[in-house]
Amino acid sequence: ERSVDCDVVLALLRRALRQRPELRVVLMSATVDASKFLAYFRDFEPRRLVVPGFAYPVTVSYLEDLKALLNLDPPSAKRQGDKDAILKFAANVARAAAKRPTHHGAILVFVAGVADVNRLCRDLGSSEEENDLIVLPLHGSLSAPEQRRAFDMVKGGDRQQKKKKVKVVISTNVAETSVTIPDVTVVIDLL
């Protein structure tokens, strides 16, 4: 996403390239107008590399749809501004989605900040009934090994009890446009 911070960094990079021609800059984006950046860095003979993206079929469900889909009552209109009620509801949606017989893959939940990530991870991972969920945080303050856990594929559950393990990744918007978690099939976006 373009921002003032990014524009300042680009200006500093262009200045650095003048002083250090051996420096290589790689800009990556799925949505940016590459021609503007090629023009901005034209003095340095920029090259463009295009990697084809993939479009996956998506079904969008809104708050009102969840009653029919998951048999859950969304928070009332007056409680929709209540962060506690929304986080509790998101936890219930994740639980219900994971328990659906047709569910496969991981669940990704986007929340506003690290405090919400930590709270939702605690809420989802705290009860005995949640032992079929593998709840993982994902945000920029985690170490690289901790962040990598969100990308690991989950092995099957306990075959004797016929329980499957479902990975639930609770993330800030760091993952919203910059990473792809390959086994995610359900996204709950609270942003």
State both tokens at 96: 């219900």
| Chain centre distance of CA 39 | 32
Q: Which residues contact 180 (CB under 8 A, 6 or more apart)?
A: none
* Residue 140 DSSP code: T
User: What pLDDT is recorded for position 129?
Assistant: 55
As a whole number of angstroms, the distance between CA 127 and CA 87 comes to 16
pTM above 0.85, yes or no: no
Tokens of 114: 């690290």
Could you read off the pLDDT of 128-170 as tens digits, one per residue?
Answer: 555 688 999 999 899 999 999 999 987 754 444 456 789 999 9
The Cα 41–Cα 38 span in angstroms is: 5
Tokens of 189: 């976006």
- Write the burial class of residue 149 (CB in 10 Å: 0-12 exposed, 13-18 middle, 19+ buried): middle
pLDDT winner (highest mean) among 18-32, 47-61, 153-167, 171-185? 18-32
pLDDT digits (tens, 9 = 90+) for 7-23: 999 999 999 999 999 99
User: Which of 27-36, 70-79, 108-117 reaches the highest mean pLDDT?
Assistant: 108-117
DSSP state of 81: T
Of all residues in the chain, what percent are helix, strand and coil, respectively (each to 5)? 45, 10, 45
Q: Which of 122, 126, 128, 117 is nearest to 175 (CA)?
A: 117
